[in-house]
Amino acid sequence: MPIAVTMPRLSDTMEAGTIVRWNVKEGDEVTSGQVVADIETDKATMEMPVFDDGRIAKLLVPAGQSVKVGTHIAVIAEEGEDLAAAAGGGGAAAPKAAPAAKPTASAPAAAAPVADDDETISVGGARIRVSPVARRMAEEAGIPLASLKGSGPGGRIIKRDVQTAMENAGSRPAAAAPQAAAPSANALAVPVSPAPRASGGLVVAGLESERVAVSGMRQTIARRLVESKTTIPHYQVSMRFEMDRLVALREQLNRELADTGIKLSVNDFIVRGCALAMARHPYVNASWAGDAIALHRQVNVGVAVALDESKGGGLVVAVIRDADRKSLRAISAETKALSEKARTRGLSAEDMADSTFTVSNLGMFGVEHFTAIINPPNSAILACGGAIKQPVVRNDELTIGFEMTATLSSDHRVIDGAMAARWLQELKGLLENPATLLV
């Protein structure tokens, strides 16, 4: 009989997931343990395996769509089972927006058929049937579902009904269309009186805007940044580093390593230097634990990676584990691999777990100085500007050299000012004498 595949709970806080991509198509054979989809959760993009052998009879949810945990997203036909029959019956017909509860033995996934593009929701005590696309469009446009009359089968509200309401709202004066106060995803702009949104934002009269949907991951990033900034007592300490020797050593090593395909970046030296300095100053490699300070035995340096705006933007932190024990070459290779994975397939929860410190570097963009927000449960983050070629004083003489400004943001509950200064001095000694990073 058909086997229903449901949206799994891939993290302890996950309530819904977005299918980033399907790695199979209808008709493909699959085996237990095979990864069939990449799922974006509230924390990371993770791989989703199946646990049965068979063939994909139907993919119920397209790539790019978010559905609740427990929702039926695909159907597998068992060996010898007719694909068309499997796709048309059993779990194949489950609604995309099914309740979040996972199927149990007493409530098997092979439930009674219901149209796979149908949701039934309760509004003011009334039951309204609506397609997932129509519901999402109505929410983004600020149009109450109760105000719509469905033209679909059985009175179901469909995409066309919402589009008609949006067009009608756009043709009315602002005073006659208060429900259209929030701009829709297609840049529908309706002048309204300034009024706070539920998110704390403000709509300004006469301001045309385009609403861009925020992914679950971006929402989590936003929430964690606000929590960090409002609950951790941040302070910043900056220091300038002479980078002449490091830049020269990097160029020399890259020439010698050219045939191997390895190309070291300035950030690789910084990560290595931070790791060694943390090993010598354990309070920078620590976390606030309420009634104690947790001094970590491992030195795991997180590297902030910017995601492309076309994929929702934001930052994720890829973790280089035991960075104090790894060579520059190993750090470089691992950083490049994780950065590429973050920008294409997405990092797994494991790739982002257990960092004890974070490096954020905007030097490649020409930024000279900035401050960064601590990534909990870390107690510090280093914001690095570029190694800028500029007039400098060396041995009491004016010359041209490379200098970099780095700013350490620290949790004052764990790291006081003197500790931060001593750690930066340690890092300064390592980066200004880069041969020490090779041993």
Sign of the torsion formed by the C-alpha atoms of 27, 29, 32 and 35: negative
- Distance between CA atoms of residues 360 and 370, nearest Å: 10
Q: Hey, which residues does 242 pair with through a beta bridge?
A: 403
Distance CA 285, CA 217 (A): 26
Nearest Cα residue to 350 out of 311, 317, 325, 308 = 317
Q: Distance between CA atoms of 63 and 17, rounded to whole angstroms?
A: 11
Contacts of 235 (CB under 8 A, 6+ apart): 409, 410, 412, 417
Determine the Cα–Cα distance for residues 303 and 372; give it in Å rounded to an integer. Answer: 12
Burial 379-404 (b: 16+ CB within 10 A, else e): bbbbbbbbbbeeebeeeeeeeebbbb
The one-letter amino acid at 364: M
Enumerate the active-site residues: 412
Q: Are 86 and 57 in contact (CB under 8 A)?
A: yes
